[in-house]
Structure 1
Amino acid sequence: MTTDELTEPKPSALFVCVHNAGRSQMAAGFLRALSDGAVEVRSAGSMPAEMINPTAVDAMLERGIDIRAERPKVLTDEAVQASDVVITMGCGDACPFYPGKKYEDWELADPAGQGIDAVRPIRDEIERRVRHLLAELGVEPAA
């Protein structure tokens, strides 16, 4: 570990959607995989579902990213405060706002109840946006 790694904190991102079962989980999965540990990744929902959307899981497995072990989590003020970038995906006004945080809203279709053919373009757009986020954070994608 270099001295820079000891003194420079990792950038962190929080992905938020209503159920934390589809879009935010796919985004977190892509960021974990593509940053190879260089970014601290969180995801949460304003009204978390019981489980991750199985079609989102299947769509991510097609890309070699396994999010089956993830569970929907409730959005907390602590998660927002601990993150440098907060990316919302249709959670409306449920996301707390803190000055000094960077906020982005990614308007994406909701994969809930959709088949794999409808989820693939959502997944691909999330990947494109995650790669752009990595560039903004100055992190070279692992793949």
Structure 2
Amino acid sequence: MSTDTDDIDATRIAFMCVQNAGRSQMSTAFAERERERRGLGGDVEILTGGTDPADHVHDEVIEVMDEAGFDLSDRTPREITLDELRSCDYVATMGCSTLDVGEVGADVDVRDWALDDPDGRDLDRVREIRDEIEGRVAALFDELSAAP
């Protein structure tokens, strides 16, 4: 069983957008895979959420992530709180700036990835967004690995 003291030294990363039904869900899946691949299970905690969560992950997102080997059909969008964001080392927003960066605090590295919303897009465009997210997540983990 995990206790709060287990995660004191863990790096906390949040992926957030408005609905938590597309870009942030894809980012979370890729981050979970990177964490596993790099053997960082206890070293990196991943949060995801939205400011106005949808009822379910977008169908086109589920489809293109399934093509990449991820099953997001059982994921449920959730709200993320300001307190959760303040507890993070890094927060990646997806280009839907509903976040007043000043409210999070200077101790959090907030990055806006400025990604198109996949909702309602054709599958080829959603694949492009997915692939861009995969690269950004890998680069973030490269950066974490290089940090002292």
Q: TM-score, normalised by structure 1?
A: 0.86
2:53 equivalent in structure 1: 48
| Alpha-carbon distance, 1:91 to partner | 3.0
Unpaired stretches in structure 2, ≥5 consecutive residues: 1-5
Matched-pair contact (CA < 8 Å) for 2:96–2:114: no
Unpaired stretches in structure 1, ≥5 consecutive residues: 1-5
Counterpart AA for 1:91? C
- Cα distance in 1 between the residues matched to 2:30 and 2:7: 26
Q: Secondary structure of the residue that 2:104 maps to in structure 1?
A: coil
1:138 equivalent in structure 2: 145
Matched-pair contact (CA < 8 Å) for 1:31–1:39: no
Backbone CA RMSD of aligned residues:
1.8
Which residue of the other structure, out of 123, 129, 138, is the alignment partner of 2:130? 123
Matched-pair contact (CA < 8 Å) for 2:95–2:113: yes
Q: TM-score, normalised by structure 2?
A: 0.83
| Alpha-carbon distance, 1:8 to partner | 7.0
Q: Secondary structure of the residue that 1:92 maps to in structure 2?
A: coil
2:74 equivalent in structure 1: 69
1:94 equivalent in structure 2: 99
Q: Secondary structure of the residue that 1:99 maps to in structure 2?
A: coil
- Cα distance in 1 between the residues matched to 2:20 and 2:80: 9
